[in-house]
Structures are given as structure tokens and as C-alpha cells.
Chain A
Amino acid sequence: MRQILAAVLVAAGGLAGLSGCVDTRASSAAYMNLEVATKLARDRVYPASVRVDARRTEYVGGEKRRVGGSGSGVIFDQQGHILTNYHVAGRADELTCILFNKERVRARLVGSDPWTDLAVIQLDLDEVKQKGLTFQHASFGDSDAVEEGDSVLAIGSPFGLSRSISRGIISCHDRILGAGLDLGGGLETGVFNTWLQTDAAINPGNSGGPLVNYRGEIIGINTRGGGNELGFAVPINVAKEVIRHILQKGKVTRSTIGLSLQPLQDLEAFYDVGKSEGAVVSAVEPDGPAAKAGIQPRDLLVEYSGVKVEGRYPEQLFDLRRRVSDTPVGAKVQVKVKRASEVKALEITTEELTTVRGDEANFPKWGVVGQTVTERLAQRENLGSTRGVYVTGVRRGEPAERAGLEKGDVITRVGDQDVTTVAALKKHYDEATRTKQAMVLLRVRRGLAVLPVLLKMEYDGGKKPAPAPTKPAETRPAEPKAPPE
């Protein structure tokens, strides 16, 4: 019934517009069009939108802390899967969703992809059943069909204000926000996707919520707000692919070939090529797939996997990066590069793309938090190899800090035993703690130097339980103790 009414109103408004006369009836009809359309779209997505409250354990300055935050999300299937941002839920160990009907349901993390800042969580269906709840899900549109000027709605919980809607237009269809935006913790995002830019209000708390077109279809996930009516959403077509991978394996596997590109713009004369033939290889990672295949910096990459490379503008480099990352890991890819006046055919074997984050562990008695070194971390920090444990936090006043250990050091030995991973270091730590070793010598790599870090340990007599790791060392002068409870 409602739809027919809307259609009639639209027709009336349209006719009035054609007649060209200033008619309050026509303008009010046009206004009502807009309002009705907005509400239709709202009704299709509102019941599927949720607020996501996330809590995680973080090590800040070596201290273990519980950190919380909230954002938005949208349920996209009957199994209660919710699409949201990585930076909302990706590292959470405790998730609670507030449904449209204001009911609270726990959720679990299914998987995430920091590179596109997306995560999939799932409602606890047992709890849903037990509480007799129902939920709806929304449908995805086609972000490739979106145009600048299209009207859109952003639905979410800005500043925790659940179920808020804001309205705007698509300001730009394929915005590039620089290659490698910081996502915190050394992670990068925005490398393999462009963004939908909108002037619909996107504020802290909107993250993870849907960007909706007037047909009530989700066309993007609101991710970044720049203030000043600049909001950015990850296009839904990107999310569809990411969801597919996450539901299968919990993460997205991508390939890397270990080279950096720069746009060809203005360098065509230098390379003696047409306007858009190829992209410039600006740097090649030593020992990476491209290096092994014989690619050199300054080569012009003209063909990748049988398809011509067009790299005149930074925007075009995105397409190429995506093609590379979508290539299966371990695949042999034929490429062509132009060097001097020769075109060389080379074969690259892709490797898996890693992030800078690796398995992290806390060593409370030492006052150290460290992680395994990933390939990407090794490249970023120029560590030379992935062997060792990268120190991410050193707690003040504890043995490691007093011994001079610093964030960014790589622990390579304990005593005279080499240490290559966090798991290995954990074994040594457990052993040293169990045997109450008074002095533990670590060797760390710091830049070019190898330094000794001697931990002088103090263990309790054994009668009192060990203090909780979050409590700082007590330095109060002796005072009459209260009787034990």
C-alpha cells in the first residue's frame, strides 16, 4: 500500500515539475518524495543495523590493559553474520551487539582483514534463541554502479548514539587516500581499495556501519571521517570479496611480489613509451619475489600475467596492486619489463603478504611484551631477518627496563641459546621463572649493534601469590600491615 502511495506522489511531483510553474503543491510533493524515499531506505536497513561494543587486551608501554570502544555494524545474512570495521572489532576478545530492538547479544569474531579495515563477527545464535529474539538482515548493492551525486544514508552509532541516520551524497566514487594509511599498531590500510567519499556525517562511532543507497541497499561500510563533511566508506564490492574469504578461512590471503611502483606520469619521454604504457618500478625488496625473478629498480613494468599494465596515474596503480594481491600465493606469473630499449619476459613466483603484526606475548616477570617478526615488520623496520622477538613494550621499573631494554629491540638469544620466535622465548621465560634464575642474559639487536641486556630478577619468597601483572611495583615505605584476610 505504501509503495503505491509513494509511486503516486512521485508521479504527481514529476508532472508538477514538468509544468514549470511555481506550485507549493509540487514542491511539497518533491519534498515528500525525498522524505518517503529516505524512510523506505531506512526501513530496509535499520532493523539490520547494530551497535558493536568491543573490548580487548592491549599492552601499552608494557602494561596489560583492558581497552574498550564502540562502533557500528550491519547484519548481512540469516546466520547473524555482521560486517563491521577491523578497527572496531578486529582485535576484540569480548564483543557485545545492541540490536535495533535494543536487545543485547554477545558476538564472536569470525575473521578480519586489516588491509581493507573490515571484520566479520557473528551473533551468538544460542543466546538469540534463548532470549527468543529475532533479527533482520540487509542486502548488498553494487558499489560499482554508484555515481557522484547519488544520495546516500549513513546509519550507525556516532559517539555511541545508537540508531542514528545522517544523509548526504556521494562526493567521489573512487577516492584514493594515499597508499598505506595508518591503522594503529603498525598496520596499514587503504592499499588495496579505493574509497567512496560522502558528505553524510560520519563521526567516531559510525565506523563499521552501512552506507545505504535510496533502494535500501548497502553500498559501503563507513570507515573514516575527516570532519568537514568528508567521510569515507569501503565500497561494498570490496567487502563482498573479503567476506567470502573470511567466511572460508577467517582471513584474506593475498600475494606480494616485493616491489614498489611509482606512476608513469611525465616519465613517458624518459622511458620512450606511449602515454600510459606501464608503471615504474621504484624499488625492489632485496630477496623478494621480484628480486629473485631479476626485476630491477627503474624497470618499467609493462605486462602482468598477460594483461597490459597502465600506470600513468596513482589511481591506476591501485588496479595493478589489486591484481597482484589477488594472484594466488605461490603462483608463477609471467611479466614483461622494459629495460633500456629491451623488453624482457620474466617469471615471478608470488609469496604471501604479511602484516607487521605477529604473535604477541607478555613476559610479566621480565616486564617485556614482544612479538614474532613478520616479513613485513622486518622490511619496515629494516631488521635484516625474521629471526628473533621484536620488543613492543617495556614496563617501567621492571628488570628489562632497568637493564636498558628498549622498544624496537629484537631479542635474539637467551643465555647462549638462539631465539627465533615468541614461542621459543616463552619456553626460556617459563624455564627461567620456574627455576628462579637470578640473572638472565638476553642479547638484542638494535640497529647495527648487538647488545647484552642483563635481567636481574627478584622473585617472591613463595608464600605470597605473585602480584597481578597490571599492578605497578609498590614503593611505599614500610607501614603497619593490616592483618591478612
Chain B
Amino acid sequence: MSVSGIWIIFRREISQYFASPVAYLIAFAFFLVTGLIYNNDITVSLTVKPTDPAAVPIFLSFGVIFFAPLLTMRLLAEEQRERTMELLLTAPVRDGDIVLGKFLSAWFYYSLLLGVTFVVYQGILIGLDTYTPDIGHALAAYIGIWLYGGAALGVGLMFSATTENQIVAAFLSMSTLLLLWLGDLAGQIVASVELAEFIRKLTLQGHFSTSFASGLFRAEDAVFFAGIMAVTLFVTIRIVESRRWR
């Protein structure tokens, strides 16, 4: 693994994000939807209940299913379609560096969007005298959804490697993420409690909604998301490598 290879790939992808209208549209949608959720949370807090520091992360635990594939669909599918992959694979960089550089760029862009919502929304709460924001709770929820997003981006990148069609890549990753999300509802259809709990442990929500979302940072949940990232990146690297054999 070479840091410089990862860094060069990472830099190109980041500048690509900032040069493409699609990324700005994604950012716009991201801020619009999280803004509405946040606004609603504050409005409700006037009469019904206190603000929920995890309101935005909780929404994103569903929203990321759609945002993450949009950020990753292009990354490898486009290299394949434009045949730049052939040149990349003849450059003196490891296949792993290419995949890692691209993954980190997507995660960085996502972190940036997430960071803005954190700073702005918590900042407004601090600014309003009537609220005493629970920064600790919010921070845990944000760390959770940050890792959750990383795992989702890993899944998205993996499917981007399998096809040269971005739409197909996005569709496959959204479907997979939706399945991982729906798994949370296993208890409603599975009679055995043990089995339902086991299935839930395999889902994204199962490691977020009852821990991070409540302001709880549990190592096992962090390890779960890190594990998803490691597995999807490993598979992605193998898929890219397999291009050489075809």
C-alpha cells in the first residue's frame, strides 16, 4: 500500500466531486431534507417534546440508503466505461490504492456534508437561549451515522465495481442497503425471538437505532460498521483485480 498512490487518487476524486453538478445536487438535496427534519424537530419541541439531538442522524439512517449509492455509483463504473481503468491498472499503483483512494474520497465528501449539518444545527441550538443542547448525545449519534455511512459507501463502491453502468450500480446498492435496513423488521415476521435478534444483529439499523441514536457509543457497533467497510473494500479490490484476468 502506498500513501502517495491513495492520496493522488483521492485528490482527483475530490476535485471531481467539486467539479460535477451532480455532487452539488446531492449536497443540495442532503441539506434540504436534513434541514426540514431539523426544522420539524424544533417546531415540535415548542409544544410536544424536547428536541432530539439525534433527529438528523436518525433520519439519515434511512436517507443514506439513497444518498450513499449516488455518491459512489460513478467511482468505478465510470472508469470501466471510459476505459480509464486500463490506464489506471498499468500505472505503478496497487489495485488496493485505487479502491481505497476512491472510497476515502466518497467518505470525505459525506463527512463534509455531515459535518456542516452538525455544526450548523447544533450551533443554532446553542445560539437560541431557550435550549440546552445535549452535545454528547448528538456527537455519539453523529459518530454512529458517520460510520454507518462509511459502511453504506463501501456497499455502493462494491457495486460500482461490478458494472460499467452507473444506474445499475446505484440500483443494486440501494436494493442491498434497503434489505440491510429492512432486516431490522425481522421481529415482525419471524416467530423465534432468538432468530429475529440474530438477524437484527446483521443489519445496519440493528447497530444504530438502539445505541448510537440514543447517545450510546458501543464498541461492538463501531466494529460492525468497520467490518462492513473492510469486507466490502476487500471484495471491491478483488473485483478490480479480476479485470486483469478477463
Chain B binds chain A: no
Using a CB–CB cutoff of 8 Å, the interface residues on chain B facing chain A are: none
Using a CB–CB cutoff of 8 Å, the interface residues on chain A facing chain B are: none
